[in-house]
Chain A
Amino acid sequence: MSSSAVDVSVVRRRLTLMELSRYGPVIGLIGLYVAFTLLNDRFLTVQNQVNVLQQVSIIGIMAIGVTFPILCAEIDLSIAQVMEVAGLTMATLAVGARLFEGSALPVPAAILGGLLLAAAFGTLSGYVTARFGVPSFMTTLAVLFLADGLGLIVSGNRPIIGLPASLTGVGGSRVFGFPSIVIVFAVLLVLSQLLLSYTRFGLYIYAVGGDRTAAERMGIDVMTVRMGTLVISSLFAAVAGLVTLGRIGSAVPTMGAGLLLPPIAAVILGGADLFGGSGNMVGTLVGVLILGVLQNGLNLLGVDPAGQLVAQGIVLMLAVLANVLGRD
């Protein structure tokens, strides 16, 4: 039949596009490394590479977290504000200031308080989404405002200083000369990939993200899975808030500003399907590094922040184009 020849060429084209969207991010990252190494001799040094890792860790932790809902065909728009309110809560609880004036808690309890608050936000948006079918971009948008407001209440809209060393130590110390914030990022990355690859929950995230009806039919508890991904992304945002306390040495009510979109952009840059069901943490790491290396390299070349934004926009546009074209 004459149609079979057409079919073959369609399949071939689709294959090359799929391969492109699969390996494109890695090729892009390598390209950036080669280019910046040739253009600037300070780029490929141990010191600068450690700098890059340190600079991307906060966005990286949030990106790992938000990878879970994206794989599940959901989105979490509240991560920046949840990161903020969780960090502020940990700080005020540990110091015993502002809303918690005079009732300082031990540092582990303060951290737990921030994590629980974040989990509560994730549970709220997750429940309303999974139980009542409200799209997660709406429920997490509502939580964005809730968390933002609560952050102002907790902190009194002023920075919290004089944090205990054990609180700032999580993100602001060095272990064998290596920044602790990078270690936190690496550990969470590995654990998340293991969760995705080897547990039922990980498999179900892909199943629900790929075909929710089929997953429901096969008896999967779709509601718990969807909720779970939003709780996880909130928890990771809270950890990002925790390490931020160490990175800047205090808690600032605006410390989440501008941190919503870079993590989401990184996930998509890393090749995760925009509509759920495919992607992984290694891809997210690549996406995070593309953003970080681009910024660092352009900095070294003396390109101003405006130019850096333009470059990031171009890269992101190319990535989403490859992402959609490569969908199977």
Chain B
Amino acid sequence: MDEGTQGHDPIVVMEDITKRYGEVVALEDVTLELRRNEVLALAGDNGAGKSTLIKCLAGAVRPDDGTIRVDGEVVEMDSPRTAKRLGIETTFQDLAVAGNLTVTQNVFLGRERASGPGGLFGILDKSSMRRRARELLEELEIGVDVEEKVSNLSGGERQLVSISRTLLSDPKIVIMDEPTSALSVEGAERVLDLIDRMQAQGISIILISHNLDHIRRAADRVQILHQGTDAGVLDGATVTQDEIVKRMVAGKPSSEDERHAAVD
């Protein structure tokens, strides 16, 4: 294991994560290492355990076994709140944007800037939120009007809004669950561009995707899961589609017993 982390400055290390749902083993001794400022793709067939694994990191699921380290410290990831406090943000596969609200309202949904009485009766500071949202979208070069209702946006633009929302709190790590699925070619391209820009800003990213072209376009390394087990890590720049598919379908080749051997 150690040879995999030496000299690479990992920001997250999930070690020997195991999660069972009754008889079903969703994850078995899976290890994932996210290096500082890299884009790590997480690939695998349906039911391979991708979602469960990132939910463990996002605090939405508690693993039965294994440890999670963030910046070298072992952490108890007991709730989504804890994950957010540690600088980990997640975008959801089903977007979680409300179409009847504006871009600004969606960006700030659940953490509005408000004054006066707290809680539900706080008075919204609309102009400040609008300014910040505009600033954020400009920084990310997302050409969307912050006053626009989200239902008037394209699928790609909605995804951009959903992602930009995670950046409001200056996260260190952003997890993206299938951000490019269900998007047009142009929409996916804009999302992949945004991922590049986020990386340039120093954010470390875990990208779950089914699309092998998108993985190769965006990812520095590819972690593959097969039926809840670790199927190895491949280099994003040189990996072939065949190699990814082979491991997604059949798992780690038996010749490769040492973890991470393909990369290190």
A interface with B by C-beta (< 8 Å): 198-201, 203-204, 206-207, 209-211, 213-215, 217-221, 224-225, 228, 273, 277-278, 328
Across the interface, do A203 and B98 meet the contact criterion of CB distance under 8 Å? Answer: no
Assuming the contacts A218-B110, A220-B109, A220-B110, asked whether A198 and B124 have C-beta atoms less than 8 A apart, the reply is yes
Across the interface, do A211 and B110 meet the contact criterion of CB distance under 8 Å? Answer: no
Please tell me the number of chain B residues within 8 Å of chain A, measured between CB atoms: 25
Across the interface, do A210 and B96 meet the contact criterion of CB distance under 8 Å? Answer: no
Question: Which of A198, A228, A273, A277 is the most central at the interface, judged by chain B CB atoms within 10 Å of its CB?
Answer: A198
B151: chain A residues at CB < 8 Å are 328
Across the interface, do A218 and B109 meet the contact criterion of CB distance under 8 Å? Answer: yes
Across the interface, do A218 and B124 meet the contact criterion of CB distance under 8 Å? Answer: no
Across the interface, do A201 and B121 meet the contact criterion of CB distance under 8 Å? Answer: yes
A273: chain B residues at CB < 8 Å are 100
Assuming the contacts A217-B92, A220-B109, A220-B110, asked whether A210 and B120 have C-beta atoms less than 8 A apart, the reply is no
Is B47 in contact with chain A by the CB < 8 A criterion?
no
Can you list 8 A-B contacts (CB < 8 A)?
A: A201-B121, A203-B124, A206-B98, A214-B109, A215-B98, A215-B109, A220-B109, A273-B100
Minimum C-beta distance from B181 to chain A (A): 18
Across the interface, do A203 and B112 meet the contact criterion of CB distance under 8 Å? Answer: yes
Across the interface, do A200 and B120 meet the contact criterion of CB distance under 8 Å? Answer: yes
Assuming the contacts A200-B112, A215-B109, asked whether A224 and B120 have C-beta atoms less than 8 A apart, the reply is yes
Q: Which single residue of chain B is at the shortest CB-CB distance from A207?
A: B98
Is B101 in contact with chain A by the CB < 8 A criterion?
yes
Across the interface, do A210 and B99 meet the contact criterion of CB distance under 8 Å? Answer: yes
Is B74 in contact with chain A by the CB < 8 A criterion?
no
Minimum C-beta distance from A327 to chain B (A): 10
Across the interface, do B122 and A200 meet the contact criterion of CB distance under 8 Å? Answer: yes
Across the interface, do A214 and B112 meet the contact criterion of CB distance under 8 Å? Answer: no
The 8 A CB mask of B103-133 against A (1 = contact, 0 = none) is: 0010001111010000111111010000000
Report the bound CA distance from A214 to B123 in whole Å: 22
A218: chain B residues at CB < 8 Å are 96, 109-110
Question: Which of B110, B111, B122 is the most central at the interface, judged by chain A CB atoms within 10 Å of its CB?
Answer: B110
Q: Which single residue of chain A is at the shortest CB-CB distance from B120?
A: A201
B interface with A by C-beta (< 8 Å): 92, 94-101, 105, 109-112, 114, 119-124, 126, 149, 151-152
Minimum C-beta distance from B53 to chain A (A): 19
A210: chain B residues at CB < 8 Å are 98-101
B121: chain A residues at CB < 8 Å are 199-201
Minimum C-beta distance from B241 to chain A (A): 28
Assuming the contacts A214-B95, A214-B98, A277-B100, asked whether A207 and B109 have C-beta atoms less than 8 A apart, the reply is yes
Which label, helix, strand, loop or mixed, suits the secondary structure of the B interface?
loop
Q: Which single residue of chain B is at the shortest CB-CB distance from A328?
A: B151
Report the bound CA distance from A213 to B94 in whole Å: 9
Q: Which single residue of chain A is at the shortest CB-CB distance from B84?
A: A219
Minimum C-beta distance from B68 to chain A (A): 22
Assuming the contacts A203-B112, A207-B101, asked whether A213 and B96 have C-beta atoms less than 8 A apart, the reply is yes
Report the bound CA distance from A207 to B151 in whole Å: 13
Minimum C-beta distance from B226 to chain A (A): 29
Report the bound CA distance from A181 to B95 in whole Å: 46
A213: chain B residues at CB < 8 Å are 94, 96
A200: chain B residues at CB < 8 Å are 112, 114, 119-122, 124
Report the bound CA distance from A277 to B92 in whole Å: 22
Report the bound CA distance from A203 to B107 in whole Å: 13
Report the bound CA distance from A212 to B234 in whole Å: 40
Question: Which of B94, B100, B119 is the most central at the interface, judged by chain A CB atoms within 10 Å of its CB?
Answer: B100
Report the bound CA distance from A273 to B119 in whole Å: 27
Across the interface, do A199 and B110 meet the contact criterion of CB distance under 8 Å? Answer: no
> Would you list the 4 A-B pairs with minimal beta carbon distance, nearest first?
A210-B100, A218-B110, A217-B96, A277-B100
Across the interface, do B124 and A219 meet the contact criterion of CB distance under 8 Å? Answer: no
Q: Which single residue of chain A is at the shortest CB-CB distance from B152?
A: A328
B114: chain A residues at CB < 8 Å are 200
Minimum C-beta distance from A10 to chain B (A): 13
Q: Which of A211, A225, A328 contacts B98 (CB 8 A)?
A: A211
Report the bound CA distance from A263 to B105 in whole Å: 29
Question: Which of B95, B98, B99, B110 is the most central at the interface, judged by chain A CB atoms within 10 Å of its CB?
Answer: B98
Report the bound CA distance from A231 to B3 in whole Å: 61
Across the interface, do A199 and B120 meet the contact criterion of CB distance under 8 Å? Answer: yes
Report the bound CA distance from A61 to B77 in whole Å: 49
Q: Which of B94, B95, B97, B105 contacts A203 (CB 8 A)?
A: B105
Report the bound CA distance from A328 to B111 in whole Å: 26
Q: Which single residue of chain B is at the shortest CB-CB distance from A221?
A: B120
Q: Which of B96, B109, B120 contacts A228 (CB 8 A)?
A: B120
Report the bound CA distance from A273 to B120 in whole Å: 23
Across the interface, do A214 and B124 meet the contact criterion of CB distance under 8 Å? Answer: no
Across the interface, do A219 and B110 meet the contact criterion of CB distance under 8 Å? Answer: yes
Report the bound CA distance from A204 to B106 in whole Å: 11
Across the interface, do B123 and A198 meet the contact criterion of CB distance under 8 Å? Answer: yes
Beyond A198-B126, A206-B98, 9 additional contacts (C-beta under 8 Å) are: A198-B124, A211-B99, A213-B96, A214-B95, A214-B98, A217-B92, A218-B109, A220-B109, A220-B110
